[in-house]
C-alpha cells in the first residue's frame, strides 16, 4: 500500500491533529513528534509514512503541488489560498470565526455602518476583498502578517478582519465584532492526484477518522 | 532597465534547447500514435473572436481569457483550448470537409490562470478531435490517449472515466431549485466533500444520501455494478450501460488496466455531453490529459448536430513527469579556415545531403575548446581539412574523435562517412 506524506500544521492545532491521526491509524500510537525540535520532516518507521511540519498557511501549497499527499489546516487558510485542493473531511477542531471588527469608539454596530473607502487591516486579503466586493462596498485593504488588532490602535486602519475563537483578544483591544465572514475549523485536504493514486489508503483514513466522531 | 524589457510575461517562458528538444521528442512520439490511428493535423489561428470562443463555454471561465481589442473595436482572444476553434473551423469549412473527421493538433493555448509550477499561462497542447464518429468513438479517444501517454515513456498512469449522464439522471429526480444544481456540481467537481455535506444539510435535501454516495463511487469495473444499483432513472442507467460498453472495447484492446471509474469526476468545461475522462500520473500533482464527448458543440456553431469526442494532453506536464533529457543529435563539426572554406563547405554540403547533422565552425579555438564545444552538442567527430593549394574538393581530411580524443587521417573515397560514423 502506498506510503502517505502528510503536511501537519505547526502550532496550537498540532497536538489534537496528531491525536486524530493516531486514532485514524495513520500514525502508530507510540509515535511522538518532538514539536520543539528543529526537525521538519519525520518518518514513522513502522508505517513508512512521512510527516512535514509546515506553517498552517503553507499547508495548502505543499498539498496543491503534491509535495504532500494530504494536509491539515484551517478552512480560513484554505479559502484564502483559493486553489484546487480536495477538501474531504471536517476534523471539527480548531474552530474559529473570521470576523469584521470595529473599534468600540467608532459607534458602528452593523455592516451597514461601514463607510465606503475605509481602510481594513487583515492577513486575509483575498477573503476580505471577496466579502466586500460581493456587497458592492469599496474598501482599501492593508495586508498584515500578524497582530492585526494593533492596526486600528495606531490608526493604520479603520477596521480589521481577523480570526477569533473566544473573542478575548478583540475585547482586550476594544474591538467589537460586527459581522461574521466565515466560520472555520480544521480540514483534511488532499492533492488531486494523490486522491486517485492513493485512493484506498486515503478513503480508509477518512472513514476511520469519520467514525471516531460518531463513537464519541 | 525596466523589468518588462528583460522578462517574459508572467506564466510564460522561453524554453532553451534542453527543454525544447524534450518537448519535440514527446511531440514526435505522440504524433506517431495519432498517425497510426489515422488522425491528420489541423492548424487554427492563435487569435479568435472572443464571442466565438465563448460558444459552449461556461461564464466563470471567462476571466481566464486573454482579451485584446483590434483597431476595428472587435474583441479578440487568445484561444484557451483547441476544441472550440476546431469545432468552429469544421462548421465554417464544412463544404471542403467530409465526415467522419479525425483531426489532431500540436498548439499553444493561453489561460490567464495564476501561474504556478506545472501551471503555465501558455500551455502546449497535443490532442485530437474525432468528429462525426461512430459508437466506438469514446473508446477510440480513450485508447489513443492511453497509447499516446504510453509512447512518451510514462508507465504509471491512470485515466478516470465518468459519464455526465449519470449525475444528470440523479439530479433530474431531485427537487432542486435555481442555482442549487449548479452548486451541487461545483462541490462535487472540486471534491469539496465537507462543503457538499454542509450544503446538502443547508438546503434540507431529503435524498441527500444518493449524492453523498457519489464520492465513494470510485474504482475498477466492479464499481459499475454498484452504480447500476444506485441508478434510479433511465438517464443514469444508460450512462452506466455506455461505460460498460466502452470498457469492453478497452478490454479487447488490452488497455483496461489503465482506467478507473469515478462518478464524481466533473470537468471544468460545460460543453461535454457524455463520457468524460482525465489522466494523471504518480508523483505529479496535476492531471496530464482530459477530454470527453461533446455532441452539441458543432450545432452551437451553426452546424448540423454531429457527434464528437476528443481530448488534449499537456506537453509541459508530461515533460515534468519524465526523467529523460532532450539531447542534441549533432553528428559532427566541420572546421573551416580562410584557405579551406570552399572545400569545407563542399564537404558539409555532401554530408548534409546524406542526412548527417553537421555544424560548421571557424577553426579559431584551441583543441580543448573544440572538444568541449563538440561535447556540448554531442558531436562525435570534428573534421578539419588540410590546407592545399588546390581549391577543388578535399581529398583527405583529419577526423578527431571527441571521446577518445585521437585523430586519424581519412581518405575521401566512396563510403568514408559510414566508416567514420559507423552509420
Range from A165-169, B28-32, B46-50, B313-317 carrying the lowest mean pLDDT: A165-169
Query: Could you tell me if B249 and B118 lie in one domain?
Result: yes
CB contacts of A187 in chain B (<8 Å) are 194
The H or E element that residue A5 is part of is strand A5-9
Q: Is A191 on the interface with B (CB under 8 A)?
A: yes
Distance from CA of B219 to the nearest CA of A (A): 9
Query: Given a cut of 90, is residue B134 above it in pLDDT?
Result: no
Average predicted confidence (pLDDT) for chain A: 88
pLDDT of res. B391: 58
Q: What is the pLDDT of residue B284?
A: 81
| pLDDT attached to residue A32 | 67
Tell me which chain B residues have a C-beta less than 8 angstroms from the C-beta of A198. Answer: none
CB-nearest partner of A87 from B116, B158, B193: B193
B289: which chain A residues are within 8 Å (Cβ-Cβ)? none
Residues 31-90 of A with CB under 8 A from B: 64-67, 75, 83-84, 86-90
One domain for residues B70 and B197? yes
- Chain A residue numbers with beta carbons less than 8 Å from the beta carbon of B262 are 196
Is any Cβ of chain B less than 8 angstroms from the Cβ of A195? yes
Residue B302 in this model has a pLDDT that exceeds 90: yes
pTM of this structure: 0.84
Confidence of residue A33 (pLDDT cuts 50, 70, 90): low
Q: Which of A198, A191, A192 is nearest to A7 (CA)?
A: A191
* B7 min Cα distance to partner chain A (Å): 24
Count CB atoms within 10 A of the CB of residue B185: 17
Would B286 be classed as within a structural domain? Answer: yes
- For residue B99, the domain's CATH number is 3.30.930.10
Give me the pLDDT at residue B25, please.
93
Give the model's confidence band at B3: pLDDT under 50 very low, under 70 low, under 90 confident, else very high. Answer: confident
Q: Are B43 and B148 within one domain?
A: yes
Nearest CA in chain A to B262: A196
Comparing B199 with A100, the larger pLDDT belongs to A100
Q: What is the domain range of residue A169?
A: 96-183
The alpha carbon of residue A15 is apart from the nearest alpha carbon of chain B, in Å, by 22
Q: Which three cell numbers stand for residue B212?
A: 453523498
Positive or negative, the CA dihedral B30, B35, B36, B37 is: positive
To the nearest whole angstrom, how far is the Cα of B161 from the nearest Cα of chain A? 12
The Cα A185–Cα A172 span in angstroms is: 24
Cα A72 to chain centroid, rounded: 8
Are residues B187 and B309 both part of a single domain?
yes
Domain count along chain B: 2
pLDDT at A1: 46
Domain presence at residue B419: no
Co-location of A78 and A106 in the same domain = no
Contact yes or no for A88 and B193 at CB 8 A? yes
Q: How many domains does chain A have?
A: 2
Cβ pair B345, B336 in contact under 8 A: yes
**Given this model, what pLDDT does residue A34 score?**
67
Q: What is the mean pLDDT of residues A2-15?
A: 87
Question: Confidence class of residue B1 from pLDDT cuts 50, 70 and 90?
Answer: low
Q: Binning pLDDT at 50, 70 and 90, where does residue A122 land? A: very high
Q: Which residues of A touch B158 (CB under 8 A)?
A: 196-197
Supply the pLDDT for residue A216: 46
In chain B, what is the greatest distance between 2 CA atoms, to the nearest angstrom? 98
CB atoms within 10 A of CB A170: 18
Return the CATH number at A139: 3.40.190.10
Size of the A and B interface in Cβ pairs below 8 Å: 59
Give residue B390's pLDDT.
64
Say if CB A202 and CB A70 are below 8 A apart. yes
**Least confident range of A39-53, A164-178, B142-156, B216-230:** A39-53
Indicate whether B308 and B388 sit together in one domain: no
Tell whether B245 and B378 lie within a shared domain: no
pLDDT (tens digit, 9 = 90+) per residue, B206-222?
667 778 788 888 889 99
Looking at the structure, tell me whether residues B301 and B406 fall in a common domain: no
Whether pLDDT at A115 is above 70: yes
Nearest 5°: CA angle at B372, between B370 and B375?
A: 110
Task: Tell me what the mean pLDDT of segment B227-244 comes to.
Answer: 92
Question: In this complex, do A90 and B114 lie within 8 Å of one another by their Cβ atoms?
Answer: no
With CB atoms and an 8 Å threshold, state whether A86 touches B158: no
Inter-chain residue contact B194 with A88, CB threshold 8 Å: yes
Do B300 and B402 sit in the same domain of this protein?
no
Same-domain pairing of A157 and A105: yes
- Confidence band (pLDDT; 50, 70, 90) for B114? low
Domain span at residue B341? Answer: 332-411
Of B413, B343, B415, the closest CA to residue B383 belongs to: B343
Q: Cα distance from B198 to chain A (closest Cα, Å)?
A: 10
Residues B78 and B151 in one domain: yes
What are the φ and ψ backbone dihedral angles of A202, each rounded to 5 degrees?
A: -70, -40
Task: Say whether both B386 and B314 belong to one domain.
Answer: no
Quick: pLDDT tens for B338-365: 888 888 999 999 999 999 999 999 988 8
Quote the pLDDT of residue B118: 54
Does B29 reside within a domain?
yes
Nearest residue of A to residue B193 by CA position?
A: A88
Cβ separation B280–A193 shorter than 8 A: yes
Q: What is the ipTM of this complex?
A: 0.77
pLDDT, tens digit, 9 for 90 and up, residues B387-414: 776 656 677 888 999 988 888 888 888 8
The residue out of B299, B321, B343 marking a domain boundary is: B321
Amino acid at each position: 500500500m502506498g506510503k502517505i506524506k502528510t503536511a501537519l500544521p505547526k502550532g496550537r492545532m498540532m497536538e489534537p491533529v496528531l491525536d486524530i491521526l493516531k486514532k485514524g491509524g495513520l500514525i502508530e500510537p507510540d509515535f511522538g513528534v518532538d514539536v520543539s525540535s528543529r526537525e521538519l520532516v519525520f518518518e514513522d518507521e513502522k508505517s513508512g509514512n512521512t510527516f512535514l511540519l509546515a506553517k498552517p498557511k503553507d499547508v495548502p501549497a505543499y498539498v496543491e503541488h503534491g509535495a504532500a499527499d494530504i494536509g491539515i489546516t484551517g478552512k480560513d487558510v484554505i479559502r484564502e489560498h483559493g486553489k484546487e485542493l480536495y477538501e474531504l473531511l471536517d476534523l471539527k477542531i480548531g474552530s474559529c470565526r473570521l470576523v469584521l471588527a470595529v473599534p468600540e469608539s467608532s459607534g458602528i454596530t452593523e455592516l451597514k455602518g461601514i463607510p465606503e473607502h475605509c481602510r481594513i487591516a487583515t492577513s486575509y486579503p483575498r477573503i476580505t476583498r471577496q466579502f466586500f466586493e460581493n456587497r458592492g462596498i469599496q474598501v482599501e485593504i492593508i495586508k498584515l502578517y500578524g497582530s492585526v488588532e494593533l492596526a486600528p490602535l495606531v490608526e493604520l486602519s479603520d477596521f480589521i478582519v481577523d480570526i477569533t475563537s473566544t473573542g478575548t483578544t478583540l475585547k482586550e483591544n476594544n474591538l467589537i465584532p460586527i459581522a461574521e465572514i466565515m466560520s472555520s475549523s480544521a480540514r483534511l485536504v488532499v492533492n488531486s492526484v494523490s486522491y486517485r493514486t492513493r485512493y484506498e489508503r486515503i478513503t480508509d483514513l477518512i472513514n476511520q477518522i469519520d467514525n471516531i466522531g460518531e463513537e464519541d | 532597465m525596466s523589468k518588462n524589457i528583460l522578462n517574459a510575461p508572467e506564466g510564460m517562458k522561453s524554453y532553451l534547447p534542453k527543454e525544447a528538444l524534450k518537448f519535440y521528442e514527446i511531440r514526435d512520439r505522440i504524433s506517431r500514435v495519432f498517425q497510426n490511428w489515422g488522425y491528420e493535423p489541423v492548424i487554427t489561428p492563435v487569435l479568435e473572436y472572443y464571442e466565438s470562443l465563448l460558444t459552449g463555454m461556461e461564464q466563470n471561465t471567462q476571466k481566464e481569457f486573454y482579451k485584446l481589442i483590434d483597431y476595428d473595436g472587435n474583441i479578440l482572444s487568445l484561444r484557451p483550448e483547441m476544441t472550440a476553434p476546431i469545432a468552429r473551423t469544421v462548421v465554417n469549412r464544412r463544404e471542403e470537409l467530409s465526415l467522419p473527421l479525425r483531426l489532431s493538433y500540436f498548439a499553444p493555448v493561453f489561460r490567464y490562470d495564476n501561474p504556478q509550477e506545472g501551471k503555465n499561462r501558455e500551455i502546449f497542447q497535443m490532442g485530437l478531435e474525432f468528429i462525426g464518429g461512430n459508437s466506438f468513438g469514446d473508446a477510440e479517444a480513450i485508447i489513443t490517449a492511453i497509447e499516446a501517454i504510453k509512447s512518451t515513456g510514462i508507465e504509471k498512469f491512470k485515466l478516470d472515466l465518468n459519464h455526465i449522464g449519470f449525475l444528470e439522471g440523479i439530479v433530474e429526480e431531485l427537487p432542486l431549485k435555481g442555482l442549487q444544481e449548479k452548486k451541487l456540481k461545483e462541490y462535487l467537481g472540486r471534491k469539496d466533500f465537507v462543503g457538499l455535506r454542509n450544503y446538502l444539510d443547508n438546503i434540507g435535501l431529503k435524498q441527500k444520501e444518493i449524492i453523498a454516495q457519489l464520492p465513494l463511487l470510485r474504482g475498477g469495473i466492479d464499481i459499475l455494478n454498484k452504480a447500476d444499483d444506485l441508478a434510479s432513472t433511465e438517464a443514469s442507467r444508460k450512462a452506466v450501460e455506455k461505460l460498460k460498453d466502452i470498457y469492453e472495447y478497452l478490454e479487447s484492446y488490452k488497455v483496461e488496466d489503465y482506467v478507473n471509474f469515478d462518478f464524481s469526476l466533473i470537468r471544468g468545461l460545460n460543453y461535454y455531453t457524455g463520457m468524460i475522462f482525465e489522466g494523471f500520473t504518480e508523483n505529479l500533482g496535476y492531471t496530464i490529459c482530459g477530454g470527453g464527448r461533446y455532441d452539441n458543440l458543432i450545432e452551437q456553431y451553426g452546424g448540423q448536430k454531429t457527434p464528437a469526442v476528443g481530448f488534449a494532453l499537456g506537453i509541459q506536464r508530461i515533460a515534468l513527469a519524465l526523467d529523460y533529457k532532450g539531447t542534441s543529435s549533432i553528428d559532427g563539426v566541420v572546421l573551416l579556415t580562410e584557405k579551406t572554406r570552399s572545400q569545407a563547405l563542399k564537404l558539409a554540403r555532401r554530408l548534409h545531403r546524406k542526412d548527417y547533422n553537421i555544424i560548421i565552425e571557424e577553426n579559431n579555438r584551441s583543441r580543448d575548446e573544440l572538444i568541449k564545444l563538440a561535447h556540448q552538442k554531442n558531436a562525435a567527430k570534428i573534421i578539419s581539412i588540410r590546407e592545399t593549394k588546390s581549391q577543388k574538393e578535399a581529398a583527405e581530411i583529419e577526423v578527431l574523435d571527441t571521446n577518445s580524443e585521437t585523430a586519424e587521417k581519412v581518405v575521401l573515397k566512396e563510403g568514408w562517412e559510414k566508416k567514420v560514423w559507423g552509420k
